Amino acid sequence: MSGVIRRVVIRGRVQGVGYRAWVEHQAKRHGLQGWVRNRRDGCVEAVFEGGEDVVTNIVASCRRGPSSARVDDVAEETASEDTLGLRRAGEAFSVLPTI
């Protein structure tokens, strides 16, 4: 592991507006590892691993999201390597199926 691992759950109008694709693009652009997925309850869940400053910045960006989204809340917590390990083998950052 090369830094911190954070799990975030984003609530609001965050599905059907390109939020997952936006998260994937931002994470890859900043060299982060992890994953993002929709949840059946209407939220988006993501896990980021990287340098503390970079992870802090992407979590802050998640509070705004893409222009078509409306973010009402972002819950953040420290996550484990096991949680990070849910991404697809061979991928630094994955878009996972809805749970």
Structural domains in the chain plus CATH codes: 4-87 (3.30.70.100)
Tell me the one-letter amino acid at 10: I
Catalytic member of 20, 39, 64, 87? 20
Question: In order along the chain (99 residues), what is the average pLDDT of each group of 10 residues?
Answer: 89 98 97 98 98 97 97 98 96 97
Q: What is the pLDDT of residue 90?
A: 96
Is the whole-model pTM more than 0.85? yes
Verify whether residue 20 is a known catalytic residue.
Answer: yes
The one catalytic residue in 7, 37, 38, 87 is 38
Provide the pLDDT for residue 2.
61
